[in-house]
A and B are shown apart, each in its own frame.
Chain A
């Protein structure tokens, strides 16, 4: 599907996609990219019944009522970071109580997981050492991930101050913030992460294999 057709699809909604794909059996369209440049593969052939009277079963809800669920952080600019703050030294205490059992002393690796410190500059050779310091392009990823998933036996139970503090401690262990640093919604997005420019958008297909049938090697 061409990008022009995708724009039409986005404007007109799915009925345009049905008209474009019905009867073709799909599959013959070229790989397509989204308006934001993401490779999506070919569009799927599918038929959605036209609905003269659209059923509407969703119950209106307010953003305020969703506050406890609304935990995502848009990590490049930190949008969604909550009020609160935490220091490196506070984080050291939280880490000892809630993280060290799996991740080990000083986040250097424990009985369950490997190191969360170091690895900066290791991606051109082997082994690549993946840590928050070496891998995360944006510091607020730490807040988002720790709050949604950690500690593994009791996630979404730490206070925002505790999450900021543990984040500050891990950033300090990786040499990315000083020992007196305090993380909050303003300071965290400003931390410069070494892998910030370490990503490229999907540029596949990246192979050009041919269909040789005889005496191929």
Chain B
């Protein structure tokens, strides 16, 4: 190990070589460190009676409702994940976004039943202790609401990334492949669609094509290593990977096989996309490739010029993330960010790029490319195709964050 003298020499030389930013940071000397009280007092004893919680100093990291949209009731409502505080690609269960159409029910797993019927050989009923006996699968997937970004289309309304993109979470789902249960019931060859219906007081329901149900759909009872949280569908839900969140019906009570879709309110009057000719795009369920920088992001303030790691999340409902590009000059020039393993199908992927901020104003952007070669569009690209005013869905545009000379980061969607 080098002596103190030679280490100081090394630091001096390195500072001279790397110039301004490093020298400025190195010039602020740390104060002498006292022994901390935590070294001198015993800590809390193991509490076997309570569920472990984050540090009290992390109490600001929590789900929040939108600051922008004024909802006049709170049963059909949503809360958003604090992505600016999430390292990695997994969202802790207490921070996974919520979207309910009529509040969260408390359902007793002992009495809950799931049924499969309709165009099947034998209608079947399952209790929870039946479902947990089947061979299970665990898979990492992103989960995103179709309305993620609905308040921020052509002009900025939200401040933070929690408010612009927080209807997004990363989850390890565990359950039974839907195909296992479908095969047991015996699908009529004419059965092309499956209705999924909830046991909540909206009895929320959606029609899903049979091929997707047989491909990678999970009847899930657990998330991130524990049973589902009530607000995320306890005791059982469907998870339809890569598709808009509302097709993954929570509190699942019924699967009905049919030969055509049902065209319910939730797939005609809602969750459809307005087009410029006055028509509505229907059954647009794949969540298209998207990315967002989570740091630096809206509402944050840089601590002066120097080194920063630009980092964020990228995901695709149609495969894996192949690349993410970063721009610090508002989209004029781009460079490829580093993708952090693991990179998984229909899952959040973490990207990172080193950046030396010179203190001048700029605009940060990220642009994802998926395994099909699809490139994330700008909001202007979307505007050319869709009628993007008002309350709309499936917003996957590039998110620009501006930085002024004071280091303040702002949402400039549609402005850059």
Residues on A close to B: CB < 8 A?
A: 6, 9-10, 13-14, 17, 25-32, 34-36, 38-46, 48-49, 51, 54-63, 66, 69-76, 102, 111-113, 123-124, 126-128, 130, 132, 135-138, 141, 144-145, 148-149, 152, 155-156, 195, 198-207, 209-217
Contacts and interface: CB of A to CB of B under 8 A. Distances in A.
Interface string B285-299: 110100000000000
B212 A40 contact: yes
Interface stretch (B142-150, B230-238, B378-386): B378-386
A38 B333 contact: no
B179 interface: yes
Chain B residues touching A, range: 35 or more
A102 B385 CA distance: 36
Contacts of A36: 192-193, 209, 260-261
Contact of B279 (A66, A113, A199, A211): A199
B135 A206 contact: no
B278 interface: yes
Nearest to B209: A34
Interface of B: 72-73, 75-76, 101-102, 115-117, 122-127, 130-131, 133-135, 137, 139, 177, 179-181, 183-185, 192-193, 195, 197, 201-205, 209-212, 214-216, 241-243, 253-254, 256, 258, 260-265, 268-269, 272, 274-286, 288, 316-320, 323, 325, 330-335, 345-346, 367, 369-372, 374-378, 381-382, 384-386, 389-390
B115 to A, nearest CB: 6
A59 B382 contact: no
A39 B286 contact: yes
A7 to B, nearest CB: 9
Contacts of B124: 58-61
24 contacts: A10-B214, A17-B214, A28-B371, A31-B318, A38-B212, A39-B284, A40-B286, A42-B318, A57-B134, A58-B130, A60-B122, A60-B124, A72-B195, A135-B268, A136-B265, A136-B269, A144-B264, A152-B75, A155-B203, A198-B279, A199-B280, A202-B283, A205-B288, A211-B375
Contacts of A27: 319-320, 345, 370-372
Nearest to B335: A213
Contacts of A123: 274, 278-280
A39 B281 CA distance: 12
A155 B123 contact: no
B179 A14 contact: yes
A212 B333 CA distance: 8
Nearest to B195: A72
A46 to B, nearest CB: 6
Contacts of A200: 275, 279-282
Contacts of B371: 26-28, 42
Nearest to A134: B269
A136 B288 CA distance: 26
Given A9-B215, A155-B202, 4 more contacts: A123-B280, A202-B282, A205-B374, A207-B384
Given A46-B216, A57-B130, A141-B269, A201 B283 contact: yes
